[in-house]
Amino acid sequence: MIFNSNKDTIENVKELSVPLIPLRDIVIFPHMVVPLFVGRDKSIKALELAMTQDKSVLLAAQKKAKTDDPAQDDIYKVGTLGNILQLLKLPDGSVKVLVEGKKRARIKEFLPSPECFIVKVDEVNEELDDTLETEALTRNLVKAFETYVKLNKKIPPEMIMSVSSMEDPARLADTISAHLVIKLQEKQAILELINVTHRLERLYGIIEGEIEILEVEQRIRQRVKKQMEKTQKEYYLSEQMKAIQKELGERDEFKGELQELEERIKNKKMSKEATKKAKQELKKLKLMAPMAAEATVVRNYLDWLLSLPWAEVTEEKKDINEAEKSLEKDHYGLKQVKERIVEHLAVHGLVEEMKGPILCLVGPPGVGKTSLAKSIAKATNRKFVRLSLGGVRDEAEIRGHRRTYIGSMPGKIIQSLKKAGANNPVFLLDEVDKMSTDFRGDPASALLEVLDPEQNHTFNDHYLDCDYDLSKVMFITTANSLQGIPYPLLDRMEIIRIAGYTEMEKVHIARRFLLPKQIKAHGLSDVNLEIPDALILAVIRRYTREAGVRNLEREIASICRKVAKEVLKRGKDIKIKISAKGLAKYLGVPKYRYGRMEEKDEIGVSTGLAWTETGGELLSIEVTVVPGKGKLTVTGKLGDVMKESAEAAFTYIRSRAEFLGIDKDFYQKVDIHIHVPEGAIPKDGPSAGIAMATAIASALMKVPVRKDIAMTGEITLRGKVLPIGGLKEKVLAAHRGMIPRVLVPKENEKDIKEIPATILKKVEISFVEHMDDVLKAALVLEKPEEIFKKVQEKDIYQKEGMPTPVPNNGIITH
């Protein structure tokens, strides 16, 4: 059946009758070659019909793809006339067909046919206005399409080539339309545009829009990809870390540790500030890798905070009587010292807040300063900590280093408190006089803050970086001498002097304390060892020379050691009684010659008395006169003050030469050498003045000095004797040296009460006011009275019209 076309009214329309194939999801444009799978009966019939004729079909899209059996209205009115190029029947009855679009056509009418659609169509000729605008549009479209193809991976890139080589704008527009991935309705709309320029324009618009969408899509895709990569990487890494940590089994441990810390912070009573700090640090720690170096720093810090005694206290005993008893029990003698300490405790017992001065025990080594402080702790039921300040020269040792330093730690104050485990210990600051200052800051000023009751409730350690309350701590300091203590520190302390012990006191201490202590320490019993008092005295005299009892204790310990050896060898029950002879077996040859008194009276040798940090000492002063030109040499490691004192003594003797029977011009003819032996011990102070003058006078006069007299006193140019310090120690030293008589400045008479009566019985004290008295007493003169009578008659001061010396106004020197 051929429906021959007749000419239509419209010129560019040619009328035809062709079978119609409704297409579900595609719009076919002219010039397109498309394979189609045809399954619906009606369509297969249409194809068969076409095959019997000239193979022409109309290919028109359905409005809705889903409609299986479309009615006339379900089909768009504009389609494409196509040619069947190939047809293949498939085994399942469907047909694969290759068609080529030829020309647009509009359905005019559906012809009645039950088997398939047959339609009368008008072929549509395109309207092309060959203008510049069309040309420009074409070019733009090609460019836009290129971009589109690059962005849209679904279109093969060869399309760009074939499109750009097309000259016919209508064909170009259709080819592009065919390849666009857009909605069916839109494609249909393009198909229906007969005017080519309009079609180009519409297409251009659509492509631009699509490009924009594609670009956004691409951006999103890239972002998503990146995100994916990142999360993937993170996920991967964290999985890896988990695996590693699991392997090491530490994650859980760390969690446990954190929990424990949290618990400890919760339960520990700290200051508000410290609690806040601890919580902050814990938060930081949670965010750290458990093995990181910083984590260790934070852990250490928390550990310090948590192990300090913030609220922990020991309950103090405030019973003064008991404290007194306890001190008495541990220490022999020291009556005044104990009294002062008990007074101090009494004040503290009455006043809750300790704002009183700090106790400072001053005295030579081994007199029991440290052990007294321990006793105080015991008597008041406080913990005891000791911090030696000897050699501390860095402020940071007191106050700690800031946490920025690796390996930094709190200062010694905080360290000691941790050791004490309570916030109210007795805190002994040993050797305050041995601190030194250098460029690293002044430890004394840091210490000042520690000791000052006005400031020490907010003591700030650099490491802790939060305030700690030191006000409950009972500070006690010790020193060997007051000289090295900075004044502001000294100002805050109550000085208690411990001078040293007499021989008898030492014997008592040894018998009652040192011996039992050492016997116990060496695992012996009282039965094993017996030392009579006389032998303890011998040990004191021949094996020690000290103001305290430390060396005595050491010697006793060494006896105990040897006895312990014997006990092991010979059985537990042996008894050893030390005899005078046996002593050397236990302790070796005596270390000191007891009694330093010279063997006989000698010319140019006098005995002075010195005060040192280790107590009193006998000083043997030697003077030799040799021919020369009046040079004065002083040797024996003497300090400046002592040297000046020697010069003053020399000048005084020169002024007295005439009366003492010395050649008036002696100083032009001789050199004088003053020497104080035992050069290793540094000596200073003016108190050897009269002893030096005596030795010079003796050497020049060739008259011996009495060996049984020791002397101490400063000399002025006019021969006046000025008072000295440390009288008790000096007299004790004379006693140790078995010297029966001591010359002492008259102005020191008031200090006599400090000296034990037992000593005064053995050592006679003579007071002197003037050098003349000294010489009169100390030189072995045949008729001393005569000489000094002469001297007084022609007293040099009167003679030369000088004012008589002003009495000394009580400045104590030593």
Ligand X SMILES: Nc1ncnc2c1ncn2[C@@H]1O[C@H](COP(=O)(O)OP(=O)(O)OP(=O)(O)O)[C@@H](O)[C@H]1O
Among Mg ion, ligand X, none, residue 549 binds (CB under 5-8 Å by kind)? ligand X
Q: Interface residues for ligand X in 173-192 (CB under 6 A)?
A: none
**Smallest distance from the beta carbon of 502 to ligand X, in angstroms?**
12
Q: Are 486 and 444 in contact (CB under 8 A)?
A: yes
**Smallest distance from the beta carbon of 266 to ligand X, in angstroms?**
43
**Smallest distance from the beta carbon of 255 to Mg ion, in angstroms?**
49
Site string for ligand X, 421-460 (x = CB under 6 A): ----------------------------------------
Q: Does 375 bind ligand X (CB under 6 A)?
A: no
CA distance 18 to 105: 11
C-alpha angle with apex 682: 678 to 687, nearest 5 degrees?
Answer: 95
**Smallest distance from the beta carbon of 564 to ligand X, in angstroms?**
19
List CB contacts of 359: < 8 A, sequence separation 6 or more: 341, 344, 475, 476, 477, 493, 494, 496
3-state secondary structure 603-654: ECEEEEEEEECCEEEEEEEEEEEEECCCCEEEECCECHHHHHHHHHHHHHHH
**372 vs 653 by CB, closer to ligand X:** 372
Q: Does 410 bind ligand X (CB under 6 A)?
A: no
Pairing of strands 576-577, 459-460: unpaired
Site string for ligand X, 539-558 (x = CB under 6 A): ---------xxx--x-----
Among 45, 331, 462, 545, indicate the residue that binds ligand X (CB under 6 A): 331
Q: Does 368 bind ligand X (CB under 6 A)?
A: yes
Q: Does 509 bind ligand X (CB under 6 A)?
A: yes
List CB contacts of 613: < 8 A, sequence separation 6 or more: 364, 365, 480, 481
CA distance 574 to 719: 64
Site string for ligand X, 187-226 (x = CB under 6 A): ----------------------------------------
CA distance 302 to 294: 12
Neighbouring-strand partners of residue 58: 20, 81
Listed residue (611, 546, 607) closest to 814, CA to CA: 611
Using the contact rule CB under 6 A, the part of the chain among 21-29, 238-246, 362-370, 390-398 near ligand X is 362-370
Instruction: Please report the DSSP string for 457-479 in residue order.
Output: GGEE-TTT-SEE--TT-EEEEEE
CA distance 771 to 649: 10
Helix axes 272-286, 293-307, angle to 10 degrees: 160
State the residue number with the nearest CB to Mg ion. 370
Residues serving a catalytic function are: 687, 730
CA distances for 37 relative to 98, 191, 505, 556, 583, angstroms: 9, 22, 130, 122, 131
Listed residue (182, 172, 228, 248) closest to 27, CA to CA: 182
Among 301, 332, 468, 652, indicate the residue that binds ligand X (CB under 6 A): 332
**196 vs 389 by CB, closer to Mg ion:** 389
Q: Does 333 bind ligand X (CB under 6 A)?
A: yes
Using the contact rule CB under 6 A, the part of the chain among 141-149, 305-313, 366-374, 679-687 near ligand X is 366-374
**305 vs 479 by CB, closer to ligand X:** 479
CA distance 793 to 783: 16
Q: List strands edge to edge, sheet with 426-430.
A: 384-388, 426-430, 474-479, 358-362, 493-497
Among ligand X, Mg ion, none, residue 371 binds (CB under 5-8 Å by kind)? ligand X
Tell me the residue ranges of DSSP E strands in 510-586. 529-530, 576-577
**262 vs 613 by CB, closer to Mg ion:** 613
Among 29, 513, 586, 667, indicate the residue that binds ligand X (CB under 6 A): 513
Among ligand X, Mg ion, none, residue 509 binds (CB under 5-8 Å by kind)? ligand X
Among Mg ion, ligand X, none, residue 70 binds (CB under 5-8 Å by kind)? none
CA distance 563 to 555: 13
**362 vs 524 by CB, closer to Mg ion:** 362
Using the contact rule CB under 6 A, the part of the chain among 229-237, 359-367, 645-653, 796-804 near ligand X is 359-367
Instruction: Please report the DSSP string for 220-283 in residue order.
Output: HHHHHHHHHHHHHHHHHHHHHHHHHHHHHTHHHHHHHHHHHHHHHHHHS---HHHHHHHHHHHH
**370 vs 528 by CB, closer to Mg ion:** 370
Q: Interface residues for ligand X in 23-82 (CB under 6 A)?
A: none
Listed residue (547, 551, 544, 552) closest to 334, CA to CA: 547
Among Mg ion, ligand X, none, residue 550 binds (CB under 5-8 Å by kind)? ligand X
Among Mg ion, ligand X, none, residue 707 binds (CB under 5-8 Å by kind)? none
**333 vs 723 by CB, closer to ligand X:** 333
Among 17, 56, 80, 370, indicate the residue that binds ligand X (CB under 6 A): 370
State the residue number with the nearest CB to ligand X. 368
Among ligand X, Mg ion, none, residue 756 binds (CB under 5-8 Å by kind)? none
Q: Are 97 and 35 in contact (CB under 8 A)?
A: yes
Give 666's Cβ-side CA count (13 Å radius).
23
Using the contact rule CB under 6 A, the part of the chain among 107-115, 328-336, 729-737, 762-770 near ligand X is 328-336
**509 vs 587 by CB, closer to ligand X:** 509
The residue count for binding ligand X (CB under 6 A) is 19
**Smallest distance from the beta carbon of 388 to ligand X, in angstroms?**
9
**433 vs 714 by CB, closer to ligand X:** 433
Find the DSSP H helices in 15-90.
41-52
Site residues (vs Mg ion, CB under 5 A): 370
Among ligand X, Mg ion, none, residue 553 binds (CB under 5-8 Å by kind)? ligand X
**489 vs 660 by CB, closer to ligand X:** 489
DSSP 771: H
Q: Does 397 bind ligand X (CB under 6 A)?
A: no
Q: Does 378 bind ligand X (CB under 6 A)?
A: no
**390 vs 488 by CB, closer to Mg ion:** 390
Token output for 102: 């030829």
The contact set with ligand X (CB under 6 A) reads 331-334, 365-371, 478, 480, 509, 513, 548-550, 553
